[in-house]
Structure 1
Amino acid sequence: MKRDSKLSGVLHVLLHMAETERAVTSELMARAMHTNPVVIRRILSGLRDAGFVRSEKGHGGGWKITRPLAEITLRDIYDSLGAPQLFSIGNRTESPGCLVEQSVNAALGRVLDEAEALLLDRFGAVTLAQLRQDFHDRMRASGKTVDLEQNHAV
């Protein structure tokens, strides 16, 4: 089963955007993320609707983050993406009258609900500022520099 990496991709784009004061075009971000500018615009339009980014038209236009990174959590971004399903594990529903299936589903349902609540709570405790700090720490340790146009060329 293919994993949903949309949250990871959006966070990646936002952290790159945070590294520049200027507006970043969807074309530039698409090249960096090895995708189509339309995909980037679709993602960012959802973030715009949630108030995390804005777009500027014209020469020098593009996308900018509108709120301080310390005010944006992983949970905020997750919610702005429509709160995609967190787990691929699910309950069997082929025999709803089966008492064994009911017992298994009740136990799995409780555990999955608890795990989801814990994960979402943790998402709410991690800010983009924390991710950016971790990125900067890794960059310093590696001796590399940031260049949106070059870092993803490989």
Structure 2
Amino acid sequence: MKRDSRLSSVLHALLHMESHGKPMTSEDLATCMSTNPVVVRRTMAGLRESGFVRSDRGPNGGWSIACDFDRVTLRDINAALGEPALFAVGNRHENPACLVEQAVNAALDDAFDAAEALLLERFATVTLAALAADFRRRFARHKSENGTKAHA
């Protein structure tokens, strides 16, 4: 099963936008994220509806940050994405009347629910500002060792 990487992609885009300091086009963001501008526009539209980004038309237009990085958490962004499934592991449902399957599913459901609650709790403690600060530290270290590019 393919993993859903939208949260990671959105966070990647937001950090590029914040470090860029001025609006970025969908094409610019697509280049940073190694994806298609259509995917960027679709994803950013959802974030715009949640108030995290805005878009401006015209020669100096593009996508820009519309939120306070100190107040927005990974959980907030995950919610804006529609709270995609956090785990690729799931239960089997081939024979719902089977008592063994019921017992296994009950145990797995309890574990999945506890793990998801813990992960969402952790997401609520990580702000976009903390991610941006970590990026700036890594970039400064990388720049001193290798030059100015943020991507390998």
Q: What is the TM-score normalised by the length of structure 1? A: 0.91
Letter in 1 for 2:3: R
Where does residue 116 of structure 1 map in the other structure?
A: 116
Which residues in structure 2 correspond to 1:122-137 (within 5 Å)? 122-137=122-137
What's the counterpart of residue 92 of structure 2? 92
Q: TM-score, normalised by structure 2?
A: 0.92
Are positions 1:31 and 2:31 aligned together? yes
Map 1:1-150; keep pairs closer than 5 Å: 1-142=1-142, 143=144
> Gapped runs of 5+ residues in structure 1?
none
Q: Taking CA–CA contacts closer than 8 Å with sequence separation of 6 or more, which of the two structures ends up with the larger relative contact order? A: 1
Distance of 1:69 and 1:34 partners within structure 2:
24
Structure 2 residues without counterparts, runs of 5 or longer: none
Instruction: Kindly state the Cα deviation for residue 21 of structure 1 after the two structures are TM-superposed.
Output: 2.6
**How far apart, CA to CA, are the structure 2 residues paired with 1:145 and 1:114?**
44
Over 3 Å off, 4+ runs:
none
Partner AA of 2:127 in structure 1: T
2: CA distance, partners of 1:81 / 1:145? 35
Pairwise CA distance, 1:145? 6.3
Partners of 1:113 and 1:93 in 2: how far apart?
18
Contact 1:52-1:65 within 8 A present in 2 as well: yes
Q: Structure 1 residues 145, 5: closer, same or farther in 2, change over 3 A?
A: farther
Residues matched between the structures, number: 150
Kept in 2, the 8 Å contact 1:139–1:145? The answer is no
| Same amino acid, percent of matched pairs | 55
RMSD of aligned C-alpha atoms? 1.5
